[in-house]
Structures are given as C-alpha cells and as structure tokens.
Amino acid sequence: MQLRLGIDIACRAPHQASLADESGRFVFTGHRFRTIARELEELWSMLPTETEAGDVTVVMEPTRNAWVALAAWFRRRGARVVLVPPEQSADLRAYYSKHTKTDRVDSRLLARLPLLHPEGLHEEHGLGPGHPMRRATRLRQSLVKRRSKSLSRLDALLEILGPSWLAALGSDLANKTPLRFLAAGYACPLTVRRLGLGRLNRFIYRHSRGSWGQEKAIELWDAAEETLALWADELDFGELAEDIAVEARLALSLTEEIVALDERIAVQFHEADPQGILVSVPGVGAITGAQILGRLGDPARFRSLAGVRSFSGLVPSLDASGLMGKHGGPTKRGDACLREAIFIAADHARRIDPTLAARYHRLMVSSGKHHNSAVCHVASTLLTRIVACWREGQPYALRDVDGRQVSLAEAKRIVAERYTVPNELRRARLTNTAGRRGRTGRRSKESQSAPSASPSTGHATATARTSSPRAVRDGKASRRRSIATPGTSSTPSEIAPMHAFGDSTDARPTQPRTPVLGSRCGLTHSGIRSATPTRRAHWTSRSRAGFLVRPAAAVVPWPTSPETTRLPTGRGRTSDTQRSRPRPRRPRRWPRPVPSAR
C-alpha cells in the first residue's frame, strides 16, 4: 500500500505531519514533532504495520534550510522524498481552503498532493544547501556583491575630495594598491603633505610591487594640493579620511576572503569534474563552472533538456488562450546564482563560438532584440549544450554553422568576419530610452507626479489638479459666475471644464474648436447640442477636481446667437429663461385641522 506523508516544516515551532493512503483517506493528521532523532523514530513507528520503506513518499516544502536534515533522515530510511514549490502548494490551498491557513491544513494538503498533481512530483536526491560546492559558490556571490557596494560607497566619498583623486587612483578601486593607500588614512590631504613626496613614492612602490612609481606619487601629491585649494579650511579632512579608511579596510578584507574562497572552490570543482568537461566550454572557467555545476546539481536528474532550460528561468513566459497568445520576458523562476553564471558565460561564448555568434547576430540584426535579450537566448542554448556534454561525457567542440569542427583561432576569425554587430545598431538597441535619445532632459528626470516647471509641449494648456475641498468649492463658484454673467472675466485665469478644450491629440488646424463655458448645458465643442444623451450625461458627470486653467486672454465670450445659447430641456433640465430667473417658492401646505368631536 502506497502511503504519503505530508510534512509542514517550521523553523522554530514544531513540524506537523499528516499521513494518507493511496486513496486519499487519512491515517492520522496533525502529529507534532521536532527535528530530533528520538521524535523522528516515534513518527516512523506510527506507520501501519507491514509497511515497506519504499512505499512511503514524504512530501514537504523547502522551507529555508530546515528541510535538509529531514530529507536526509527519511532517505536513509528508504523513503522517497519529494519537494514541492511553495507557490504551487499555496495556490492549491487557496483553492481548497481560501479563508483558512494553518499548519494542519498545509500538512493534509501535502499528503494529498500526489493524487492531485502526480506529474509535478520530482524526487530530491541531493543535499541542497548541505552540498559544499553549492554553498561555497553562493557565499562567493554574496561576498562579491558586498565588496561592490563597499567600492561604490568608497567612490562616492572620494568625490567629496574632488575629481583629481579618482583620476590619480584610477577607476578600478578593487586594486589592492589604492585600497591599502586609503586604508592607511592617506585620503587626508594634510597627511599627504606631511608624508612628503619621497615617503609617498616608497609606499606606493612597495605595495604595488613596482608597477606604480614616482609619476603616480606626483599625481597623488597634486590631488592633495588641489583639494586643499578647493576646500581651504571648510571641510574636516580627518573625519572624512577615517570614513574612507573604514570602507577601504572592509573592501580589503572582503577581497582576501574571496581569494581564499576561490582556492577552495577550485579544489572542489576539480574533484567534481576531473575530465574538464565544463572547462572546455567557451566562456566557462573554474569559478564559473563551479557556480554552474554547484547550483544546477546533478544534470542527470532532469528528464529532458527542456526541463534544464525551465529550471534556469531563462525561458520566456507564455500567455495564450484560444486564438490569442503572446510571449513575455524570462520567467526567472529558477536559481538566480545559476542564471547569473550562465549569462556571463554566454556573453563570452558568443565572441568565440560561431554558432552562438550567428544566433546572437540574427537576434540583434534581424529580430530587433537588444543585447540582454539576445544574450538570454544564447545562454539558454549554451546551458542545453553543457548538460548534453555532461551526460555524454565528452568535451565541448567548436563548430562552424555548417557543422564543421574548427580550432579556437579559426572560430574567432569567423566570428570577427561574419557576425560583428555594428556599433550604430548596438546603440540603437539599448534597453533604456535615454540612450536612444542621446541624452536625458529635465522632464525625464523629474517625478511624473510633480508639477511641470516648463510649458507643456503636447497641449496648449496645463492641467492643474487639486483635491482640497476649498479648491473644489472655488471651482464650482467660478463656473456659476461664468454661467450667471456670460461674456465677462473678472479673474486673470478662468476655470473651465476639461471637455471644453477638446482632445489634445486632435491636430486639425483648419477647424479650430471653440471653447464654450458652462458644462451643464450639454453643448458640444462647437456650440451645437449633443445628439446622444450618453455623451451629455458623460459631460455632465465631470470630476469635482478636474479643471483646466487658461489665461484671461484665451477666454471666449459667451455666444449671443439664440441657436447656441438655447439650453436643452427635458428630464431633469431647465431652459435658459428658467435658469436666469429665481425659482418661485412653493407655498407650504399645512395639514387640515381635525374637527373636534362634540
């Protein structure tokens, strides 16, 4: 008998387990236990008698790292361990129990999941975060990002001293020589002046191992003098130098940790790939290969190569229904560390492999893709070839588009001659709109919700939206004054409804539209009564705060023709004469007195 054990894993609280048979009937539900050997033995003893270990399927979610020890324990017992993505279980729980979410409900749902979605069950064989190379590559990625943030802060602090410091130290602050110079507290120009040119020359010559000499020392000396002339005594150079030294020491420490970690990863990668299959792939070195292999896991665990591409998250999303359908961007549902490594490798491989270069050239030139999109397509193809080579146990071979195997030098020559993308086309395919225009204007840098500081280029008037009750009352009063006293304008700006100025996208200079004040009239832009009551109702139900402001010179007098001043009558409307005269008050009807009974 097949049994399914659903476990809802908790990080601090006890886990909950529910056991169901092959028909979905529960044997027990809501059993609480912790990740302790004694309590795990107690849970295993609760299985029905004469149950073989191979008939038990343990279904759980990969909750942080708490699932690793549980999965290893159940695999040693002979059970089949299946990991379910939290998104799938959450969607299924919302279907069955929309308004209730408890650990007991989650464990019951996981126990019945093999009956509902059997093709979505993928057995887990690895240790996940327990694998040393997988954990080391993830740690290296985190350290590299921390160092990049520290270098960015260091660059921002050096800008306070002036541009001459960045010019003297160079744009690559990840070099150890400028970091040691800044970590020693020499970012203070007064300290550099007291140090002297001779000792400064010996310092940078020793730490750069002879690559920097007297010329670099003179540049740093001149940068210090320029900062003193720029700031005088207004800036506290000592405090700023201490802040810069802290960031430099952090960057140096992270660099040393990354170097030591690279040595560990290289040893682990050599043990995992003794034949050098991944290193034979263009664009893949020891660190990148370890990152791909460590985050991908065992490539043989995938049923097909399409599953490998889907796991990477580089495949496009699809939204189709009936005769309509469209592809979106990459799903990005896989491992982000794997996706980063394969993207970097593909960007290098498309410069070496003629087949990948031809695909990149076709996407950029013919299909109109930008660089990142084209590299994502190449990365998906490269990952498929890496897994195919790993399964076959053969190294990667460079081939021309006709299938002929070529050498490395010949492959580079073919790529340079046939598949070079012009620089003009590459600039036209930039992902940001600022690169297409060539520069960014002030309007593109400002917030979209902020008021514009310059006149609009797409409309003759500017839109002033307000939400205060006083502004709404003022707008109503202005409209009433315009209706009561037509042809006059007592204020420098007149407030009119939005629809009185026409559509801003309508460019017909031969027939200019005449703005007509009075939005309750139901008149069109030319003064003729609207033919459809729907449009009249739409114009009448205007927004309370949606008014357009125009100067007094643009105010059009009230038309005097009877054809244009006639107001529509009908249900809920009054004529122009009735609107101009005050409505007489209706006499109040008192109730008849009840005659008294005699």
Averaged confidence pLDDT in the chain: 78
pLDDT digit string (tens) for 200-238? 999 999 999 888 889 999 999 999 999 999 998 889 999
483 has a pLDDT exceeding 70: no
- Confidence band for 432, pLDDT divided at 50, 70 and 90: low
Looking at the fold, whether 310 and 410 belong to one and the same domain comes out as: yes
Q: In percent, how much of the chain has pLDDT > 70? A: 72
Give a yes or no: residue 442 inside a domain: no
Looking at the fold, whether 115 and 149 belong to one and the same domain comes out as: no
Give a yes or no: residue 74 inside a domain: yes
Nearest of 395, 391, 394 to residue 303 by alpha carbon: 391
Give a yes or no: residue 263 inside a domain: yes
Give a yes or no: residue 373 inside a domain: yes
- Confidence band for 339, pLDDT divided at 50, 70 and 90: very high
Nearest of 11, 124, 6 to residue 66 by alpha carbon: 11
Looking at the fold, whether 293 and 423 belong to one and the same domain comes out as: yes
3-class DSSP assignment, residue 526: coil
Specify the number of domains making up the chain: 4
Domain stop point among 66, 100, 130: 130
Domain stop point among 130, 148, 168: 130
Q: Which domain holds residue 340?
A: 286-318+329-428
585 has a pLDDT exceeding 90: no
Strands (E), 357-500: 462-465, 493-497
Q: Could you give the CA distance from residue 241 to residue 490 in angstroms, rounded to a whole number?
A: 63
Give a yes or no: residue 42 inside a domain: yes
Looking at the fold, whether 423 and 290 belong to one and the same domain comes out as: yes
Looking at the fold, whether 152 and 67 belong to one and the same domain comes out as: no
Give a yes or no: residue 278 inside a domain: no
Residues 6+ apart with CB under 8 A from 200: 186, 192, 217, 220, 221
Looking at the fold, whether 30 and 111 belong to one and the same domain comes out as: yes
Looking at the fold, whether 96 and 155 belong to one and the same domain comes out as: no
The kind and range of the H/E element at 161 are: helix 132-161
Report the pLDDT value the prediction gives residue 547, as an integer from 0 to 100: 40
Looking at the fold, whether 479 and 519 belong to one and the same domain comes out as: yes
Burial zone of 60 (CB within 10 Å; 0-12 exposed, 13-18 middle, 19+ buried): buried
Looking at the fold, whether 471 and 418 belong to one and the same domain comes out as: no
Angle formed at CA 119 by CA 117 and CA 120, multiple of 5 degrees: 70
Range of lowest pLDDT (124-133, 407-416, 534-543) = 534-543
148 has a pLDDT exceeding 60: yes
Report the pLDDT value the prediction gives residue 330, as an integer from 0 to 100: 87
Say if CB 558 and CB 485 are below 8 A apart. Answer: no
Domain stop point among 381, 413, 428: 428
- For CA atoms 499, 501, 505, 509, the dihedral sign is positive
Give a yes or no: residue 561 inside a domain: no
Looking at the fold, whether 344 and 405 belong to one and the same domain comes out as: yes
Range of lowest pLDDT (35-49, 185-199, 491-505) = 491-505
Looking at the fold, whether 120 and 147 belong to one and the same domain comes out as: no
Amino acid at position 366, single letter: S
518 has a pLDDT exceeding 50: no
Task: Retrieve residue 382's tokens.
Answer: 């490269």
Give a yes or no: residue 445 inside a domain: no
Looking at the fold, whether 265 and 144 belong to one and the same domain comes out as: yes
Report the pLDDT value the prediction gives residue 498, as an integer from 0 to 100: 39
pLDDT digit string (tens) for 299-310? 888 888 888 888
